[in-house]
Structure 1
């Protein structure tokens, strides 16, 4: 199937590894010119695209610099993928999170997307393009260990739906892809989610990871892969689904049980 993406340009944040890298690879394979942004540009990302920009998007002016670079490199943006995001696992509980902790998590998981979208949207409107936010099932699943992350991802979902309502008439589509547990560094790396939960449960990291599907009630028996997320993002980026707007696509192995 021709997804009508050849010659389009996509800006992806957090593109050096994990979900972002998989999205960059999938879009590039469809003929998309990829602009990859990350704090550190990985060798894997450089193999996919020459258009890379090392940037810390937690700096308030960084999103504008990134978009300026993208426009100078390629002349326009058709697709923005807001992929930057990460949880802080809070095994010590809500009362241990101060204002700075809340602010950091909301900046990483909401306000970076807000600033990047604000900078890129005028050009996306010109091209009748799309914005795709990478959310999380935690936005619908209130878990105390990620209380601030869950709240931020719920806000990101609301943000996307509001944008879809405002800019849909201008031909811009805004959708969210919300993933369940994905075995990226956020889970499996040193000090990651698995380590924190394993410490709490008195298990090794390997033991905890082997129990994730059962522990979380995944009906498929397996966590989500980065390639599954990239496949859905690629479809949403295409012009084959112009009437999908303001929607959330959940890829969670059956984690969420609500109707």
Structure 2
């Protein structure tokens, strides 16, 4: 299928690894000119070919989103696609947290700053150049946990639920002006959040009295009742993002797409 994306300009946050790296690679393969924003680069990002510009940035800085968008407009002449992928634990934070009382006020502030307020600022910066184009697609990477309230990571879940609400509101306001806004809600994905040393798999392994590989391959899928029996791969999320970014999805806006291995059971 031709996604009709060649020559378009995209900004992707959290682009150096995991889901963001997979989205960056996928859009480059479709001929998109990509501004990849992340705190640091990675060998995997640097190995990609195509019209790619890496912008080192820290989205905890309120000025960063506007600077990223300005780079896209300056270097590539405009903006068509925004993928707000950066999220999860704020810099220096490790999840999961067990229970509501485990998070302080500062923990809540940092979580919302990274997972919601940075998106608000990036969208605010992106809207003007998209309006100038007469169209655009914004894809916000949310989480299946936004739909599944639980005491584990309650601050993260609440921030992502806010992101879903924001997405609906943005779609309602800007779809008549040609800007579509959707969310993709992954479940557990085989990324560094799970696999890195000291990451979620190690933390759960310590609680469960097992090892990291067992958590990733057996304990977590069983604990989360994943219908497929496995964590998703980043590319599986990237494929959905690419379709939503495409004019092929011209009538899709204000929607949420679960790519969650069957985690969500609700209708």
CA RMSD of aligned residues (A): 1.2
Question: For 1:180-199, what aligned pairs fall within 5 Å after superposition?
Answer: 180-199=187-206
Moved more, 9-18 or 47-56: 47-56
Cα deviation digits, residues 180-224 of structure 1 (max 9, x gap):
000100011122111221122222212222222222111111211
Query: Cα 1:90–1:229, aligned 2, differ >3 Å: closer, same or farther?
Result: closer
Q: What residue is the counterpart of 1:51 in the other structure?
A: 53
Q: CA deviation at 1:92?
A: 4.5
Question: For 1:108-257, what aligned pairs fall within 5 Å after superposition?
Answer: 108-127=114-133, 128-211=135-218, 212-257=220-265
Moved more, 148-157 or 49-58: 49-58
Moved more, 37-46 or 150-159: 37-46
Q: What residue is the counterpart of 2:86 in the other structure?
A: 84
Q: What residue is the counterpart of 1:10 in the other structure?
A: 10
Q: CA deviation at 1:252?
A: 0.8
TM-score, normalization by structure 2: 0.94
**C-alpha contact (below 8 Å) 1:91/1:196 kept by paired residues:** no
Q: How many residues were matched structurally? A: 259
Cα deviation digits, residues 125-177 of structure 1 (max 9, x gap):
22201100001001011221210000000000111110000001101000000
SS of alignment partner, residue 47 of structure 2: helix
Q: CA deviation at 1:119?
A: 0.8
Query: Cα 1:255–1:151, aligned 2, differ >3 Å: closer, same or farther?
Result: same
Unpaired runs of 5+ residues, structure 1, are none
Q: 1:66 aligns with which of 68, 72, 80?
A: 68
Which of structure 1's runs of 4+ aligned residues deviate more than 2 A?
46-50, 87-93
SS of alignment partner, residue 145 of structure 1: coil
TM-score, normalization by structure 1: 0.96
